[in-house]
Structure 1
Amino acid sequence: MTRLVRAQWVPLAALAALTFAAALLAVAVPARTAAGYDRAAVAAIGPGADVRVQGRAAGAAAFSAVPSDAALGAKSLTWQQLLPKSLKDITGEPEPSVTSDAFLIDGEFARPRLLYLGWDPRASERVRLVSGIPPINPPGATGGDVKVVLAKRYADQMGYKVGDRLALGDFKARVNGLFEPVDPADEFWLPRARMLHPVIENMPSTGIEADAGTALIDQNAYARLTTDPARKLLFSWRFPVRKDAVHAGDADGMADDLDAYRSAVAGRSDMFPCEIRTGLDVTLKEFAARLHTAQSVLGLAFGGLVAVAAGVLLLAAGLLGVRLRPLLGLMRARGASLGQLTGPSCGLVALAVVPSAALGYAAGRLLGAGPPQTGSILAIGLLVAAVLLVSATIVARERSGGLGSVADRRDDLGAARPSRWRRAVDLLLVVLAVVGVVLLRERGPDAGTDPLVAAVPVLLGAALGVLVLRVYPYLLRAAGPFLRRRSGAVAFIGLARAARQNLVGALPVAVLLLAAAVAGFTATVDNALKTGQVRASWAEVGADARVEAGPLDDAGLRRIRAVPGVTGVVRVRTIGRAGITDDPAPLTVVGLDLDAYRRLAPKVPDIPGTSGVLASPLAADTLGTGTVTISRAGMDPIQVRVAGEVERFPGQDTGSAFVIVPYAMVAKSTGFPSQVFVGGHDLDARALRAAAPGHAVTMREDVLRDMTRLPLVSVVHDTFRDGALIGGAFGLLVVVFVLVVGARTRARTIAHLRALGLSRRQSRALALVEIAPVLLCATAGGWVLGLLLPEITGPVVDLRPYTDGYAVTAHVPGVPALLGLIGALLLAAAAALAVDRVFDASPGTVLRTGDS
């Protein structure tokens, strides 16, 4: 065995290196993607996320349920014990608090002032007094000033100091002290901003803006608040979400558990009614939809990468088997049994593959790319088993062999006839591919991360590889007569040598085909995602920029037109809560010059070319098919007749009732909000805001940037990029490996041809001609398959969660992908020339006396 290892150390080292690389990637790539999923989940949830149990109570009901700090903490434990495990794992310790309704501070101020009184034991632990004393109130007091402490920042901005009295209607509060947070960056303060500084709020009754703040009180002041049965108190038990405990895979389960937790809290009858308040469920459901899409799409890419890695290893094992066949044939001719052949074949391969796979797995874990994935171990096991199976197959081929079986066997692709077994396998691959596609399309998006999803590209690639290998010899034969008529011999000889490859030599066709399919698929879907997001940004904004201008006069419109970079503007007048006499359902009238708008923003999707009045489906049902009159207070009545429907329009909610009429119909209805669609290039948002002061400006570039920065989008882009690079690297590795393994045999053949007059330049050209059929057939077939995969697997490759619901249909590769494909082909050609140059030998050093 030692002598055999020394004799075959080059292919063994290559097989070990390839196994190590494949195992390393099988661990690192899925782990890195899973870590990206988790980071995306944390980003989607956002800072300050929480689950709150809230209830309102007053008077005796409030005090009997929560009479003290200990009772407040006991209720915290009650709610915490009711938490489902998935929520308990991601939430921190409860943060109980009690807050009064807002008191209006008496006095003359630029803006009304509201003050909340908050009993928050956890907040009191996170502050330090900078002046004054704590808010100590006497127990059982029902009169006198309530002692409070304010944040120093709030007091400075509002003009308060220690000792000031605040008149809160029939309540009087005295500022006992001022505090600062121990750690202002602590996320604890995110939902409690009102404690630290003034916050603008709308007053409940009038909607007038007011400066609101929260003063901290103690337990005795809380007890005093419960003496008034008319004063409602808000009890809140907040469970903050811990970012380090959030995992993407738990999103679906947490959303379902939140519903169960709502039912459990609502079913408690031992205190006043409480409910769950959180935005976590909506966030989790949106994230789960995006995660489902990402896992489905990336599962297709991962399946292709595993197949490419397996093909590379099988190729290396097959070429090693070709080198071992003479030795195995000799041993068989001397009477060795098949079991005795297993040691030199399977044992040698296992010696190279098993330790390398273990080292690759260990190296992948040491990289710390992300959490370990069960699929990584499964993929490595399958790769090792496949390589060992190849070596076992090579042994099985010698069951009736000997020296004659090696010497007389001819299995060139151009001459060999497929056996019945091979025909059956080929037919099985095609049938499995067809069945897989049919089942996948029937199940649609529900297929998710099912192994069937990942297997479909591999099955399609294998089926296409079978067809290419069947057609490949006929293409070479068809080109023969044409090349014989040419004056040069390089093309004819190169094609003849390409046709002399056996099945193992043709395996690069299948591997390169799968690599090209993976690269084509990832490039196509990635470009489609970018195109869909651009389309969605146009649909959301409606132009390069949109100014929410409120009532706008001609002077304001001229200021917007004068902004540098503006090439055109279209004014829109929006009249809400309009309606017709026969139907009280409100609708929004959008006054717009449609022809001018189409010229300004031709890239906005879903705008019909119909002239006249357009209505949303809901508004069309209200308006009917005849002429109707639309009116409202402050608006001159207009008569309209619907000429067509429009599903969406920028600035209007999808599914709402709106009607688009010519601007001239509503031009005289002044005092209503306006929008201005702005077209141009290199627009300056600050200049637009200055032209329309006090009004919102939405830039399409900003909206597009926000879309591309959505959680998971960067994960999808990065994984697609890595998949294309890894697939291309494996493809080039196959080319180099095949060239190096066959270099010495080829060098001897070239030496004979050089003796017959072949020049160095012709030998270089011959190297290109020999590799060209494999490269062109495999790359062309794989690239076409990659471009068609998004259409074939259409229900699974649904990118609408990343494009605001807009379907993505532009399944074409981008220019960088095409340049990358050309570059890969050029690198493969350069590798062929480099190997030819390295192993070049003159006829005098190769041929011996008597050679012919």
Structure 2
Amino acid sequence: MNGPLLNGAWARLAREQRAPLVALAAMTFVTALLAVTVPARVAAGYDRAAGAAVSGQDVRVEARTDAATLGRFLPLADDVTVRSATWYDDLPADLRRVVGAPETSVGTNEMATAGPFLEPRLVTLAWDPGALKRVRFVAGTPPEDPPGDGPADGPGGKRGQEIQVAVSKAYADRFGYRPGTPLDLSGGDAGAPPRQGAEGLRARVAGVYVPRDAADPYWTARADMLWVRTELRGEGVRVHIGTALASGGGYWRLAHGAPGRRLTVSWRFPVDAGAVGRGTASGMAADLEAYRAAVRNRGDLFPCAVVTALDARLRSYAGQLRSGEAVIALTLSGLAAIAAGVLLLGAGMLGRRLGPVLATMRARGASLRQLAAPACGLPALAVLPAAAAGSGAGLLLDTGPPQAASACAVGALVVLVLALPAVTIVRDHGAGERGGGLAAVTGRRGDLVVARPSRRRLVLEALLIVLAAMGVVLLRGRGAGAGADPLIAAVPVLLGAATGVLVLRVYPYLLRALGRTMRRGPGIVAFVGVARASRQGVLGALPLVVLLLAAAVAGFAATVGAALERGQDRAAWAVVGADARVSAELLDRGAVARVRALPGVRDAVPARIVRDLRPASGPVRVTLIAIDLEGYQRVAPGRLPAHPRGALLSPAAAGELGTRPLTLSSPNFPEIRVEPSGRIDDFPGVPHGTPFVVVPFRALTGTGAVPSTVYVRGDPGTAALRGALQASLPPGLLGGDPYREVQVRRDVLDGMRRAPMVGVVQDTFRDAALLGAAYGLLAVLLVLVVEARSRGRGLAHLHVLGLTRRQGRRLAVVEIAPVLLSAAGAGWVLGLLLPGVTGPVVDLRPYTGGHAVSNHAADPAALPALLAVLLLAAATAVAVDRAFDTRHDLAAVLRTGD
């Protein structure tokens, strides 16, 4: 009989408390959902950034050797392919999982094509089986092995040194090559004296090809196989460089034709960016070092070395990852604390409504264990299924790889919510009918204004403040390399809690002062509203801490996000030096006029940048920057010292050259007199620490007074600038010149902001700010809804005394205003101070190209957003007051209260 009665009592109790139970279940579901999806999304962003960092990269085992050595160790083309399996087996296991099949190639040095050419033509002969499989022939046929080509025919074979090759359509169209065109390469390596046995090497074009897919990553490291590269070498000599593909028989002739011929043998392992994640990237650097040692220690082949650019990419990613983990941990920890506060608030509201029931049970002789059944069972009934459902829904959304921290966070929140009733029971009923239990029966109030904190509470609050201070000291001591350390995550929560304790200490005095002020006022609404706010207990002030943390998270996100954007803007200025920059080895004298005539250009300033100048004595090499100083001040205000009288020296140049007048020159540049007059720390486009000198453009004379760079003010189109650059190049300079460059500051800035890791950080800031605001509003709504019944009873008496409906709405806003304003103000100030408090941990230099980010001022648009949230909270109070308006049924409400 006890079972059905007990079940009936439980069901009746659950029905009576269905409103707080549903609210607690909903909040638990949302919190569990976010605890699974947000960390998974961040982890997926880390993985995408790792893949982007290594995209297009490779690991190459290379050797530069002569043909005699290559022919002795790897006489056949198949031997090169077989050797690739050995190098693949030597790869460390983790590195092997992220690289693709090996790609083998053998190529000569650049060789000059003999002929009556005005400008040298250099060609590299390459044996690359993978390239021949990725091209389509539009003329002729693929290169074939001549009959009888092989070891039995000796070094020369039946056709001497002639090799069939294929060239790209761009190369053939540039120089008029067709199938059957001979290439005389008997001159040997370009720029080097002919080697013994190099004479007689000839090639013949067998076919002309185009790539099947020009966007194939295979061509990233083989651009010369598709296009013609033009460079300025020596004293302004333009040379044209391309690559011709040879067949397998061509490999035999390269390896055995001329013993002294220099060859480059390469086994390339392309990196699969899709297989690289955060965990993989962290171990790739160590794997690369181990692989270098393994290749270097192989004694069964000629010396080889590992060549890759992955090291720099991985270091850059590691720096961005450490910085991102640090600032994201600071943000997500605050968000987790907000969620925990809201859940505790919901559980506390439920416990408050169960208080009279538990007090009655205790008065009738119930034990603490019997009290724990309804106190802990009802929250468990709401929390456990909701937590499971939220976690399952988060996994189904598949926002990224599941994180162990998500399960820990959900479990900790559930335990926290279920432990709160047990702690409350022991505190209120452990020593009999005292404290909260007696208050629940007798109706004794525990107003926040008149309540005196116990010694235990004072000790806990002091301990919390001390822990927050110690956390800040330890955090600043660890510096930028701390990464996602648990201490980093705890500091904002500790600071928020400590600030909340201080605000709660000041809050009663604020209410008392407001009460005395409003008592003298003409209206009744303000006085009654402050009086009702003063009668809230400690539980009613818990939303203050939640709102404070929400405002702190929003302020921190807005501050750091704005600082990052400002730092990237300054970094883009430092890279380009103006709104846009046009550069080449040399421009004609009309280049500035052409750029000024473009739509959107407001001003243009000429400059000449010459590298590797030397003084009359000493080994130092200096970069000379000749620029119109006054014009550049108009184009980029504040980038140069005001009113320079002469040359400006960088710190490195001043240390090497001194401060006396001197002369700089080079074999290709006339002498220029430099009279130092000041210092300049940096100049756009010049690496930090490089010795450089800035002089007025008018100091150049003769052939030296020709611009190589034009700095632009305005917003011209990139295509228009490229057209002006092409029109300003000296006659005969063709495409592919690496010294040509068009940089638009807006494009550089967009490139920085589109970086994957920057997107992860900015998206996390945005989501944390929005979720923090949503949780803050949810806390306000929860308090208003759960307390609506008791508030309705109080307002019913005031309505009888003449309180109008409009005054009731105003009263709802006044009641909640002290909590909102105190929490939002204190939290916002804490959020603005957090970047400075955390110090070197918030290191954003990896996202700005190494430029320091020191201006941690909040985005001006963030303050109106905060005010909008406060107004929304006030509107929520009015809406709840309207929904639970009891004016139409005063008699029923008053009878309930009497």
Classify the secondary structure of the residue corresponding to 2:245: strand
Structure 2 residue corresponding to 1:376, chosen from 406, 428, 431: 406
Match in the other structure for 1:796: 841
Match in the other structure for 1:248: 278
Further displaced range: 566-575 or 777-786? 566-575
The amino acid that maps onto 1:467 is: L
Match in the other structure for 1:419: 454
Match in the other structure for 2:554: 519
Classify the secondary structure of the residue corresponding to 2:825: helix
- Asked if 1:76 corresponds to 2:84, the answer is yes
Match in the other structure for 2:268: 238
- Asked if 1:844 corresponds to 2:844, the answer is no
- Asked if 1:210 corresponds to 2:224, the answer is no
- Asked if 1:587 corresponds to 2:622, the answer is yes
Give the superposition deviation at 1:354: 1.9
Classify the secondary structure of the residue corresponding to 2:785: helix
Give the conservation status (yes or no) of the 8 Å contact 2:52–2:273: no
Classify the secondary structure of the residue corresponding to 2:621: strand
Counterparts in 2 of 1:152 and 1:436: CA distance versus 1, 3 Å:
closer
Match in the other structure for 1:148: 164
The amino acid that maps onto 1:485 is: R
Give the conservation status (yes or no) of the 8 Å contact 1:155–1:161: no
Q: Distance in 2 between matches of 1:505 and 1:305?
A: 21
Q: Distance in 2 between matches of 1:205 and 1:475?
A: 80
Counterparts in 2 of 1:299 and 1:179: CA distance versus 1, 3 Å:
same
Match in the other structure for 2:189: none
Q: Distance in 1 between matches of 2:556 and 2:119?
A: 59
Classify the secondary structure of the residue corresponding to 1:143: coil
Further displaced range: 765-774 or 549-558? 549-558
Q: Distance in 2 between matches of 1:235 and 1:792?
A: 55
Q: How does 1:265-664 map to 2 (within 5 A)?
A: 265-396=295-426, 397-402=428-433, 404-408=438-442, 409-548=444-583, 555-604=590-639, 607=641, 612-630=646-664, 634-638=669-673, 640-641=675-676, 643-664=677-698
Further displaced range: 198-207 or 388-397? 198-207
Structure 2 residue corresponding to 1:2, chosen from 8, 11, 20: 11
Classify the secondary structure of the residue corresponding to 1:507: helix
**Per-residue deviation, residues 772-793 of structure 1 (Å, max 9, x unmatched):** 0010000000000000000001
Q: Distance in 1 between matches of 2:644 and 2:651?
A: 15
Give the superposition deviation at 1:97: 2.4
Q: Distance in 2 between matches of 1:603 and 1:836?
A: 57
The amino acid that maps onto 2:383 is: V
Counterparts in 2 of 1:674 and 1:128: CA distance versus 1, 3 Å:
closer
Give the conservation status (yes or no) of the 8 Å contact 1:412–1:501: yes
Match in the other structure for 1:188: 218
Q: Distance in 2 between matches of 1:684 and 1:181?
A: 30
Structure 1 residue corresponding to 2:818, chosen from 762, 767, 773: 773
Counterparts in 2 of 1:220 and 1:295: CA distance versus 1, 3 Å:
same
Give the conservation status (yes or no) of the 8 Å contact 1:574–1:672: no
Give the superposition deviation at 1:499: 0.9
**Per-residue deviation, residues 464-500 of structure 1 (Å, max 9, x unmatched):** 0001111111100111111110111111111111111
- Asked if 1:678 corresponds to 2:716, the answer is no
Give the conservation status (yes or no) of the 8 Å contact 2:35–2:410: yes
Further displaced range: 565-574 or 423-432? 565-574
**Per-residue deviation, residues 488-534 of structure 1 (Å, max 9, x unmatched):** 11111111111111111110000000000000000110011111111
Please list every run of 5 or more consecutive structure 2 residues that lacks an aligned counterpart in the other structure: 1-9, 187-199, 730-739
Give the conservation status (yes or no) of the 8 Å contact 1:517–1:786: yes
Match in the other structure for 1:727: 772
Counterparts in 2 of 1:247 and 1:204: CA distance versus 1, 3 Å:
farther
Give the superposition deviation at 1:362: 1.4
Give the conservation status (yes or no) of the 8 Å contact 1:104–1:115: yes
Give the conservation status (yes or no) of the 8 Å contact 1:509–1:778: yes
Give the superposition deviation at 1:762: 0.4
Match in the other structure for 1:65: 73
* Coordinate RMSD, CA, aligned: 2.8
Counterparts in 2 of 1:173 and 1:630: CA distance versus 1, 3 Å:
closer
Q: Distance in 1 between matches of 2:614 and 2:143?
A: 59
Structure 2 residue corresponding to 1:40, chosen from 46, 49, 53: 49
Further displaced range: 461-470 or 574-583? 574-583
Structure 2 residue corresponding to 1:17, chosen from 26, 30, 38: 26
**Per-residue deviation, residues 72-93 of structure 1 (Å, max 9, x unmatched):** 3432222122222331121112
Further displaced range: 172-181 or 474-483? 172-181
Further displaced range: 34-43 or 416-425? 34-43
Further displaced range: 362-371 or 814-823? 814-823
- Asked if 1:98 corresponds to 2:144, the answer is no
Q: How does 1:730-769 map to 2 (within 5 A)?
A: 730-769=775-814
Q: Distance in 2 between matches of 1:458 and 1:94?
A: 51
Further displaced range: 480-489 or 244-253? 244-253
Q: Distance in 1 between matches of 2:568 and 2:493?
A: 29
Q: TM-score, normalised by structure 2?
A: 0.89
- Asked if 1:811 corresponds to 2:856, the answer is yes
Counterparts in 2 of 1:794 and 1:706: CA distance versus 1, 3 Å:
same
The amino acid that maps onto 2:492 is: P
Give the superposition deviation at 1:161: 5.0
Counterparts in 2 of 1:364 and 1:849: CA distance versus 1, 3 Å:
closer
Q: Distance in 2 between matches of 1:33 and 1:80?
A: 33
Q: Distance in 1 between matches of 2:802 and 2:334?
A: 45
Structure 2 residue corresponding to 1:53, chosen from 46, 61, 70: 61
Aligned length: 848
Q: Distance in 2 between matches of 1:732 and 1:832?
A: 10
Q: Distance in 2 between matches of 1:549 and 1:227?
A: 41
Counterparts in 2 of 1:847 and 1:38: CA distance versus 1, 3 Å:
closer
Give the conservation status (yes or no) of the 8 Å contact 2:609–2:625: yes
**Per-residue deviation, residues 119-146 of structure 1 (Å, max 9, x unmatched):** 3344455556776466234223333445
Q: Identity over aligned residues, as a percent?
A: 49
Give the conservation status (yes or no) of the 8 Å contact 1:608–1:646: no
